[in-house]
Amino acid sequence: MLFLLTAATVVVFPIDAEADEGDTIDTLSEVLAELRKVERRPFTGTLRWKSEYRLDGAQGGDFFLTEKTKVGVESRLTDAWRVDVKTDQTTAVGPPQGHRFVSCFDGARTVRAGYYTKDAKIPVVNLIEGESRSQEAFDPHKLAIERKAPRSTLSQWLTQELEPGDRSVAEDGFSGMTARYRGAEKIDDLPVQVVEAEFRQAGKPESEVRSRWVFFLAPDRDWLPVRAEFWGYKWTTEFPMSTFVLTDIVQTKDGRWLPREAVQEKFGEGFAQRGERKRTWREVTTVEFDPDRLIDRADLCEDVLPVDGSPVYVLEDGEIVESYVEGEQD
C-alpha cells in the first residue's frame, strides 16, 4: 500500500499530545476511546467525494447492480451545514435509476429533501426540529462498511451501541457480534492498531465464527482504517471476501488527515468456494477537501425548501408529528 503525502504532511502529529512518550495501547477500550476523539470532529469548509462501482465479472453484484456513481458535496459553516448527494446506477434487469438527497441545517432545524427518481423536480421534504445528522454525510472511518449504510460511527458499530434504526451490524442473519483488540502492527512502516469484529449466531456465543471484519487503524493518521478485510468463512478461510485500502492519505491545511483515494474489492462467493480468488466488483472513492471554500449561507436551504406539490413530513425525535402537501393546506 502506497501513501502519497503532500509537502504539508512531513510532520506526524500524535492524536493525544499530552500522552507520555512511553504510553502504549493494550485494550479495545483504549483504542475505542482514541477513535471517539476523532469521529465526527467538527470542521469548516467543503468536502467533495465521488464513488464509482463497477461489476467485474459474471458473478456478483448487489441486486444485479452493474454500475453505480455517487457524487457528494458537504459544506460546513461553524453553526450550519449542507450535504448534497447524487446517485446514478445501472442494473442488469432494468433501466438506469437515479436519486438525490439534500440535507441542510440552518442553525434552527434540519431540512431533508429526497428526489427519488432521476429527473424528479418535486422533492419529498422532511422538516426536523433541531439538528439531525445527515445519513449521506461523508465519514472516512466507516468507508469500509458504507455499503450497508450504517447510521452509527465506527466505534458505535464495533460496540453495538447503535443509532436508532441502524441494523448494519447484522451479517447474513448472524448478529451475535464480538469486538476484540488484536494488537499493534505496521503497514509499510506505518504503525497500526488492529481490531476485529467476529460474528456468531445470535444468542449462541459458543457457536463457530461465521464471519469477521478486521480493521487496521492508524493512530498517526487520525485513526483512519488504512486497511480493512471482511472474511466470510462459509465460503472460504483462505482469503478475505472483500478488502478495503486507503491508497492515498494526505494532511489538509487545518491539520486533518483524509483519504484522497480508497479502493474496495469483493471476490465472488461461488469462485471462493471452488478455491478461486476472482474479483467480482471494485469500488473506488476519491476525496478532496478545501477548508477555505465555504457555502453561501443564503444558498444553504433555499433550493430544497418545500414547493407546491411537495409531500412534507414534520419530525420530532424521529417521529412524524405532522404531514401535508405543500400548496394544499387550508
Q: Give the count of beta carbons closer than 10 Å to the beta carbon of residue 98.
A: 17
Q: How far apart are CA 212 and CA 265, in angstroms?
A: 16
Q: Extract the C-alpha cell encoding 313.
A: 413530513
Give the pLDDT of residue 10. 25
Per-residue pLDDT of the chain (330 residues; tens, 9 = 90+): 333 333 232 222 222 223 333 356 789 999 999 999 998 888 899 999 999 998 886 655 455 778 999 999 999 999 999 999 999 998 878 888 899 999 999 989 999 999 988 778 889 999 998 888 888 889 999 888 866 666 788 998 898 887 777 777 766 566 788 899 999 999 999 999 999 999 887 767 677 888 999 999 999 999 999 999 999 998 999 999 999 999 999 998 888 899 999 999 999 888 888 888 888 889 999 999 999 998 888 889 988 888 899 999 998 877 899 999 998 865
* Model confidence, pTM: 0.84
Q: How far apart are CA 181 and CA 193, in angstroms?
A: 8
Nearest C-alpha neighbor of 307 from the set 123, 117, 129:
123
Give the pLDDT of residue 147. 60
Give the pLDDT of residue 7. 27
173 CB-near residues (< 8 Å, 6+ apart):
none
- 249 bridge partner residues: 259
Residue where the block lists cell 467525494: 49
Contact 76, 292 (CB under 8 A): no
Q: How far apart are CA 141 and CA 136, in angstroms?
A: 14
Contact 154, 141 (CB under 8 A): yes
* Residues 220, 287, 113, 167, CA torsion sign: negative
